[in-house]
Structure 1
């Protein structure tokens, strides 16, 4: 029994190492693509496709390229998800709730940002845990799980509306603004030389 437990734990650790390695490789690939000509073409078509086409960018090729690469990322992500959490591939595991969770991660984290995907995923996964902990501590477990789930959906919906209206770049942009303010506060202020009267 102990040998079986150690073997399963070893396999679990190996699974997470494979997932982390695959995620790191895909992140590096995405950063390189966004910084290169491919990413610049995508952003040009996203901002104004007519102007991008007038500059010689092929709309059909760029959109097909974005669709193909997005499909590749989704396929690899689904394979890693099934490899880590599922023992068998079934359509029931990939329901509409999971699709909405992925969409919420992208919107809340920040549209068009790579770091926003990680921030949004962390928020979507950790917020229900924090909400359950707060409910158990403050109300001593008297709050029903359905009520907590409803509050969770309301908070997600309100945050999505607010971010889409006021900050489409999501939490990634907010984090960058906070870091910029902290750097500006910690930076030494330049002394203005005093002018002596002539």
Structure 2
């Protein structure tokens, strides 16, 4: 996908604010107000089991999309970078309790970003499948590291960490509504920064590297710095998401909570949602979180009592996988492109 194509999907141009930008900004503000008011009507189940993991998965997908969709660098180490963010934030809150929670989250993300730079060094020499294998090795190494050395988990006998008290400016955030609002505020802030970043010169550099790094190097674009910066920013965002996954969602985690399956889930989310698109991470996360819930409810109503629960679960997984394959064949550019095309057609019909 070219730079122009990506900007068309996103609906903005780096040259300035357009009417399309203002429309997107207005819709985003309305959506943010609606999401902020959800705790007034949603029960604890929806907050704990659906909305919080959806927001965190969206943030993780956003981080990976910055690396794969915009910079064109393959990675299968998202779970490992999530674990770095979780363990780093845990130790910062434990050993430096005077640090405010947002600062600990940011520093935990920065530590994950530094690890991401190290993991991204092979990208200077290799690409494609070989880079995937390199990041996969990082995934396994980090999982082994956190299980092997007890210092990271404060010498817990189970090598797991429990969420510390979540508070901000004296307000307790341990309730479902508090954890949801913490997650929402973090995701919204990181998303706004990411949008500005991909519209900046850094984003244009990433897209030039993605489209053809050799040509980018010839015309003077700093390819080495661009690739490492992409790994840093991506891992920083994913690290923050990992801390939220451990503390705002699960409550207690170990390195196995961020295994290879988690990395695959994040990659599937951006492939389904649309690579090279900020909105693609949210759409892919919605697909990954809400579709199984929908299939569960529909299957329960259609086959309740007639089919064994285990068989019903296997059928749902098979159907879920088949839908993913069908969707990738029919629309390989993801849900973002599909919805963008549908929106364009709707606007053109209304304008007639």
Q: In structure 1, what is the Cα distance between the partners aligned to 2:328 and 2:302? A: 32
Deviation at 1:124, TM superposition (A): 0.8
Contact 1:110/1:117 (8 A) holds in 2:
yes
In structure 1, what is the equivalent of residue 273 of structure 2? 109
What is the DSSP-based 3-state SS (H/G/I as helix, E as strand, rest coil) of the residue aligned with 1:48? helix
CA distance 1:147–1:95, change in 2 (3 Å): farther
Q: Does 1:170 align with 2:334?
A: yes
In structure 2, what is the equivalent of residue 186 of structure 1? 350
In structure 1, what is the equivalent of residue 243 of structure 2? 79
In structure 2, what is the equivalent of residue 31 of structure 1? 195
Contact 2:292/2:320 (8 A) holds in 1:
no
Q: In structure 1, what is the Cα distance between the partners aligned to 2:280 and 2:317? A: 20
Deviation at 1:86, TM superposition (A): 2.1
CA distance 1:133–1:166, change in 2 (3 Å): closer
Equivalenced residues, count:
182
CA distance 1:29–1:38, change in 2 (3 Å): same
| RMSD (CA atoms) | 2.3
Range that drifts further, 14-23 or 99-108: 99-108
Give the structure-1-normalised TM-score: 0.82
Structure 2, unmatched stretches of 5+, are: 1-171
CA distance 1:162–1:43, change in 2 (3 Å): farther
Q: In structure 2, what is the Cα distance between the partners aligned to 1:155 and 1:135? A: 11
Structure with the greater alpha carbon radius of gyration: 1
Tell which has more relative contact order, 1 or 2 (C-alpha 8 A, sep 6+): 2
Range that drifts further, 46-55 or 134-143: 134-143
Give the structure-2-normalised TM-score: 0.48
Contact 1:109/1:115 (8 A) holds in 2:
yes
Contact 1:108/1:159 (8 A) holds in 2:
no
Q: Does 1:64 align with 2:224?
A: no
Q: In structure 1, what is the Cα distance between the partners aligned to 2:267 and 2:320? A: 11
Deviation at 1:166, TM superposition (A): 5.1
Q: Residues 62-112 of structure 1: CA distance to partner in whole angstroms, max 9, x if unpaired?
A: 100001111101100001111212222311222333222222111111112
CA distance 1:103–1:26, change in 2 (3 Å): same
Range that drifts further, 177-186 or 94-103: 94-103
In structure 2, what is the equivalent of residue 5 of structure 1? none
Q: In structure 1, what is the Cα distance between the partners aligned to 2:198 and 2:277? A: 10
Deviation at 1:152, TM superposition (A): 4.0
Contact 2:173/2:182 (8 A) holds in 1:
no
What is the DSSP-based 3-state SS (H/G/I as helix, E as strand, rest coil) of the residue aligned with 1:143? coil
Structure 1, unmatched stretches of 5+, are: 1-7, 189-198
Q: Does 1:142 align with 2:306?
A: yes
Q: In structure 1, what is the Cα distance between the partners aligned to 2:288 and 2:331? A: 18
Q: Residues 9-49 of structure 1: CA distance to partner in whole angstroms, max 9, x if unpaired?
A: 97221111110000001100110011110111101100111
Q: In structure 2, what is the Cα distance between the partners aligned to 1:140 and 1:168? A: 35
In structure 2, what is the equivalent of residue 123 of structure 1? 287
